[in-house]
Structure 1
Amino acid sequence: MGHSQAEKAASRERVLRIASRKVRAEGVTRPGIADLMKEAGLTHGGFYKHFDSRDDLIAQATAVALAEGSAKIERATRKNDQDPRAGLIDAYLAKQHRDAPATGCALVPLGAAAGRGDQHFKEAYEKQVRTYLELIASLDGNTADARAEAMVTLGALVGTVLISRAMADKNFSDELLETVADQLKRRASGTLPPAA
C-alpha cells in the first residue's frame, strides 16, 4: 500500500471511529457529514473519497459500534474469575457505562433505530444480540436453560442502561443500576428463584 493509500485508509478509519462514537451518543439521524469530517481533521469535500453516501457511513459506523461491544463484553466476563457472569453484570450496569454512551454498548442506543431501520440494519443488530446471547449462555454451559437465562440477562442489562440514562434523578438512576445488578447476580447464583 502506497503512502497516500495508507493515509487514505487511516483517514477513513478515523472518520469511522468518530462516527461510531457519535451514533452511540446521538443516534443515527444526528451526525452530519460536515461535523464528522471537521472532527476528523478533514474537509467536507473529501468525504466521498471514503464513503458512497452518508447512509453508507452511518451503516458502517453502526457496524463498528456494534462489533466493538463483543470485545468489551468478553473483557467484562474476565473481570471476576470466580463468577464471570457477575463480572459482566457489574461492568454493564456500572455508572461509568451509563454515563459514557459514546463508548458504551451500542445495543442500548441503537435498538429503536434498528427497529425502524432497513433489513440490513436489523440483521446487523440481531447478529450482535445473538453474539451476546451465545457468550452469556456459554457461561452456564450453553444448555437450553442457559440460553433462556442469557435472554433474560441481556434484556435486563440493555433495558436497565437505557432506562437509567433517561432518568433525571441520578440517585434514582443509581438505585436502578444497583438493584437490577444485585437481582441478576442473586438470580444467577441461585439465591433468587428464576421467573416461571
Structure 2
Amino acid sequence: MAGGEGGRGDGLRERKKERTRQALSDAAVALFLERGFDAVSVAEVAAAAEVSKPTLFRYFPAKEDLALHRFADHEDEAARVVVAGRRTGTAPLDALYAHLRDGLARRDPVTGLCDHPAVLAYLRLLYGTPALVARMHAYQLRSEAALADALAGDPLGARLAAGQIVTVLRILAEENTARIAGGETVEAVEADAVAAAELAFHALREGLPY
C-alpha cells in the first residue's frame, strides 16, 4: 500500500514538473515570436514566467531548449513506434511508415503538413534562427541513438539504419514545411507528401534489413 502511494506521489510530482516546463517554454516562445530569439534574454523569460533564473535553469539547461521543448516528446518517437510495432509483430520500417502516414492524415505539425498560423510562426522562428537550427542537430543525434537501440542487432548496422531513417523523416518534413511556408495549401501539398513518403520508405526497405 505504501509503495502504491509513493508511486502516485512520484507521478504527481512528475506531472507538476512537466506543467512547469510547459509554462516556462510557452512564456519563452511567446517572447521569442514577438521580439526574436536573440533579442530576448533568459532573465526576461524568467521574469515573464515569474520564476528565478536558477529555477529556470533547473528545468532548461540552455536558452535554446526553452524554444525546442515541444520537440522533446518527439525525440524518441521513432524508437517508441518500433518497440510498439515489435509487440504486434510489425516490421520496424512498416511500423514507421504507418506512423508517418497517420501523422500526415492528422496534419501533425511534426510532419510539416500543417498550416495552422501558430505552427507556421513557430517554424519560421525555428528555421530562421541559427542557434536553434544548431540545437536541433543535438536532438536529431539523440533520436538516432534511441532508434538504433530499438532496432537492435548489429550496433553499427543499427546506427547506420537509424541515421538514414531519421534523416528521411527530417527531409520529408522540411519539404512539406517549405512548400506550405511558401504559400501552398495543405490540400495542395498532401498528395505529393504521401507519394514522397511512399517513395522514401520503398527506398529504405530496398536498402535496409528492417
- Is 1:84 equivalent to 2:92 in the alignment? yes
- Structure 2 vs 1, CA of residues 90 and 130 (structure 1 numbering), >3 Å: closer, same or farther? same
The match for 2:33 is 30
- Structure 2 vs 1, CA of residues 150 and 112 (structure 1 numbering), >3 Å: closer, same or farther? farther
Query: Which runs of 5 or more residues in structure 1 are unaligned?
Result: 1-5, 33-42
Tell me if the contact between 2:172 and 2:197 (Cα under 8 Å) persists in the aligned partners: no
Identity %: 12
- 3-state DSSP of counterpart to 2:33: coil
Q: How does 1:46-85 map to 2 (within 5 A)?
A: 46-48=50-52, 50-51=55-56, 58-62=63-67, 64-80=69-85, 81-85=89-93
The number of aligned residues is 164
Q: For residue 30 of structure 1, report the CA deviation from its aligned partner.
A: 1.0
- 3-state DSSP of counterpart to 2:75: helix
- Structure 2 vs 1, CA of residues 58 and 28 (structure 1 numbering), >3 Å: closer, same or farther? farther
- 3-state DSSP of counterpart to 2:50: helix
Equivalent position amino acid for 1:153 in 2: I
Distance between the aligned counterparts of 1:109 and 1:89, measured in 2?
A: 28
- Structure 2 vs 1, CA of residues 143 and 72 (structure 1 numbering), >3 Å: closer, same or farther? closer
Equivalent position amino acid for 1:87 in 2: A
Alignment partner for residue 161 of structure 1, among 150, 164, 173? 173
Q: Which has the higher helix share?
A: 2
Equivalent position amino acid for 1:127 in 2: A
- Is 1:127 equivalent to 2:131 in the alignment? no
The match for 1:150 is 162
Distance between the aligned counterparts of 2:124 and 2:136, measured in 1?
A: 11
Alignment partner for residue 178 of structure 1, among 181, 194, 204? 194
TM-score normalised to structure 2 length: 0.54
The match for 1:189 is 205
Distance between the aligned counterparts of 1:56 and 1:147, measured in 2?
A: 27
Distance between the aligned counterparts of 2:27 and 2:100, measured in 1?
A: 20
Query: Which runs of 5 or more residues in structure 2 are unaligned?
Result: 1-11, 36-46
- Structure 2 vs 1, CA of residues 146 and 66 (structure 1 numbering), >3 Å: closer, same or farther? same
The Cα RMSD (Å) is 4.6
TM-score normalised to structure 1 length: 0.56
